[in-house]
């Protein structure tokens, strides 16, 4: 079974990553959620990535704050796409997370999305776009979602438009 594997560095990260989970649920995309830290539980992280691949994970989403090495650690262990979600926190309020997630050495890529809630949501959409490369039904759902988003912009504008 194809699914998205969501890995978080700590339980507090779920407050933000729940946004990702809700999007995947909305599109009926299978997922797993685990806590595994690159620093505090590297063996757990390694074992989870291996097990998730064996079960059919096609995309990994890794969310972490502060030093935020989780996405890079996951990427080092798999050739599947890895999406990093930097989370706010610490003395630098997320800048350290962003830089730790986006600055990867060549050959160990991590697709990095925005900090926080927007990143959590976009990580779900990016994972689904990757899955949709081989899933026409999911591709159709994503296209319909885009059409609805465009219609919502028009409806929002109609509520306040003033055109001369």
Q: How far are the Cα atoms of 57, 88, 113 from residue 117, in angstroms, in the given order?
A: 23, 10, 10
Residue 1 has pLDDT above 90, yes or no: no
Distance in angstroms (rounded) separating the CA atoms of residues 35 and 14: 9
Q: Domain count for the chain, please give it.
A: 1
CATH, residue 73: 3.40.50.1970
Model-wide pTM > 0.75: yes
In a domain, 158, yes or no: no
In a domain, 139, yes or no: no
% of residues, the chain, pLDDT over 70: 100
In a domain, 57, yes or no: yes
What domain range is 41 assigned to? Answer: 3-134
Q: What is the pLDDT of residue 91?
A: 87
**CB neighbour class for 102 (10 Å; exposed up to 12, middle 13-18, buried from 19):** middle
Distance in angstroms (rounded) separating the CA atoms of residues 35 and 10: 6
- Start-end of H helices in the chain: 14-26, 42-55, 70-77, 95-102, 116-131, 136-160
Lookup: tokens for 77? 């262990």
Q: Is 13 annotated as a binding residue?
A: yes
Distance in angstroms (rounded) separating the CA atoms of residues 72 and 57: 17
In a domain, 159, yes or no: no
In a domain, 33, yes or no: yes
pLDDT in tens, 89-117: 888 999 999 999 999 999 999 999 999 99
pLDDT in tens, 104-154: 999 999 999 999 999 999 999 999 999 999 999 999 999 999 999 999 999
Q: Is 41 annotated as a binding residue?
A: no
């Amino acid at each position: 079974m194809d699914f998205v594997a969501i890995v978080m560095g700590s339980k507090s990260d779920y407050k933000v990553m729940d946004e990702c989970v809700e999007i995947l649920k909305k599109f009926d995309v299978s997922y797993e959620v685990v806590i595994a830290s690159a620093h505090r539980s590297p063996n757990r992280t390694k074992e989870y990535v291996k097990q998730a691949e064996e079960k059919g994970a096609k995309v990994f989403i890794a969310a972490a704050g502060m030093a935020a090495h989780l996405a890079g650690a996951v990427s080092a262990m798999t050739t599947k796409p890895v999406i990093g979600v930097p989370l706010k926190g610490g003395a630098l309020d997320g800048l350290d997370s962003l830089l730790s997630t986006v600055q990867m050495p060549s050959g160990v890529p991590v697709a990095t999305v925005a900090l926080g809630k927007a990143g959590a949501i976009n990580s779900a959409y990016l994972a689904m776009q990757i899955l949709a490369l081989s899933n026409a039904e999911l591709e159709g759902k994503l296209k319909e979602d885009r059409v609805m988003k465009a219609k919502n912009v028009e409806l929002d504008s109609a509520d306040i438009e003033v055109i001369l």
